[in-house]
A = this chain, B = another copy of it.
Amino acid sequence: MAALDDLLKHHRTTEALGQVMGRLGWDQETMMPEGAAEQRGEEMAALESVLHNRRTDPRVGEWLAGAVASSDAEKAQVREIARSHARAVKVPGELAAELARLTSVSQGIWAKARAADDVAAFLPTLKQVVALRREEAAAIADGGDPYDALLQDYEPGTTAGEISDLFDRMRPRLVALRDRLAGATMPAPLTGFFPEAAQMDLSREVARTFGYDFNNGRLDLAVHPFSSGSGADVRITTRVDEGEPFGCLYSTIHEVGHATYEQNIAPEFRLTALGQGVSMGVHESQSRIYENQLARSAGFTQYLHGRMAEHFGPLSASADDMERVINRVETGYIRTEADEVHYNLHIMLRFDLERQLFGGALEVEDLEEAWNARFLKDFGIAVDHPSNGVLQDVHWSVGLFGYFPTYALGNVYAGCLHAALRRDLPDLDASLAAGEPAPALEWLRERLQRHGGLRPPRETIRHATGAEISEAPLLDYLDAKYGALFGV
């Protein structure tokens, strides 16, 4: 008993310090003055050193060896701490700290390079980031596939081979649907002026509708929307374009999906190894089901039309057209703006480039060219600017290699959850049309969110749905939804 108690006590402090690290990240993206970037890098490196020392503390190994776990929750605590410990001991402390410092500073360098459409200005930094992550991945992989090692940070238990097989199964049906839709007539996008204050008001209202608790969170602006923090302090961000209201609104709903997952984890798991979403894939399943299957549904888009008219005045689209306007399908450069049909094709591109980068088949210098060639092949249009191509996403600048595939996994998981949800809640359309997603949120909370890290990622999804995981429900849903909407 003593070993387990000591282990959990030690780990609780580590989790609390991990939350502090998260808060620094939030601050960096929302509040930090520009001139503080370099110092912040050093502050984050210092905190990462502390975290690394705690995770690699030899006593953790001894406590893990001596820990006797009785309940499922205790076993899960030990499992998660053991995983974190096993990873950490393979990584030299200096490397961990230097990665924290570099990826804190590199984000600002990337942001400036993207704004200037200047790949060359970012390349030296990206080379450093890739070099350090390669070194780290090799240390963790210990002779195995370094890309598999990266994946473990975001989706424990998943391999690159599995992802590759999944994408091979998904691609033909997605491409077929995309090609059918290419011949369909799309409605015009919404036009008008949508003031920032009104967009933020509506976003706050809709965040509440989707269960976000502002007593334990807040909504701010950021260049790239994100959710941050666990337990009692889970913050979200969104972005505003006064000519286009859906980016702000659906970014908010997406982040509310992430954030309510964190807010709804059982309070007894707070500041423990089970007190956070269990994987990035499961996390993304929540953000995507909130954003897409719920908030882009026929019922909710109808309801939203009324709320938008209330906040912005008369709209250029009718209530009847609203679902089609919100679900327009269009080939575009930007992943975060992609419709549900194109979205996973963007992910497949990044996955393949990342595997080449970490398998030795591609160097950073050649990344832009590889991106552009692949984009033309997959999407049929040539990249016009680096900010529409290789510079578009923040992820690589902060070392998030192996992260992108979890977005597609999240979509697959969301498809599974949505099928089960529809099975259990036959009146969901009526609720959504009334602006009341609560029955679906309650279902997700009880079946999935409150359990936090209790079960490994895929078991978490299977427990929630009572079914095996498959890409079929997602692809069936997409075929049905887009086929009906646009008559293809």
Question: A residues within 8 Å of B by Cβ?
Answer: 13, 16-17, 19-20, 23-24, 27, 31-36, 38-40, 42-43, 45-47, 49-50, 213-218, 231-233, 235, 270-271
Contacts and interface: CB of A to CB of B under 8 A. Distances in A.
A19 B47 contact: no
B218 A38 contact: no
Nearest to A36: B233
Nearest to A17: B46
Given A17-B46, A20-B43, A40-B233, A31 B33 contact: no
A233 B33 contact: yes
Given A20-B24, A35-B232, A39-B271, 12 more contacts: A17-B43, A17-B47, A17-B50, A23-B23, A23-B27, A33-B216, A36-B233, A38-B232, A39-B231, A39-B232, A39-B270, A42-B271
Contacts of A42: 16, 271
A378 B31 CA distance: 44
Contacts of A27: 23, 27
Nearest to A43: B16
Work out how many copies of this chain go into the complex: 2
Contacts of A46: 13, 16-17, 20
Contact of A218 (B13, B24, B33, B231): B33
Contact of A232 (B36, B45, B235): B36
A88 to B, nearest CB: 17
Contacts of A218: 31, 33
A423 to B, nearest CB: 35
Contacts of A233: 32-33, 35-36, 39-40
Contacts of A32: 233
Nearest to A34: B215
B213 A35 contact: yes
Nearest to A19: B43
Contacts of A214: 33
24 contacts: A16-B43, A16-B46, A16-B47, A17-B46, A17-B50, A20-B20, A20-B24, A20-B47, A23-B24, A23-B27, A23-B43, A31-B31, A33-B214, A33-B215, A33-B216, A33-B217, A33-B233, A33-B235, A35-B213, A35-B233, A38-B232, A39-B233, A40-B233, A50-B50
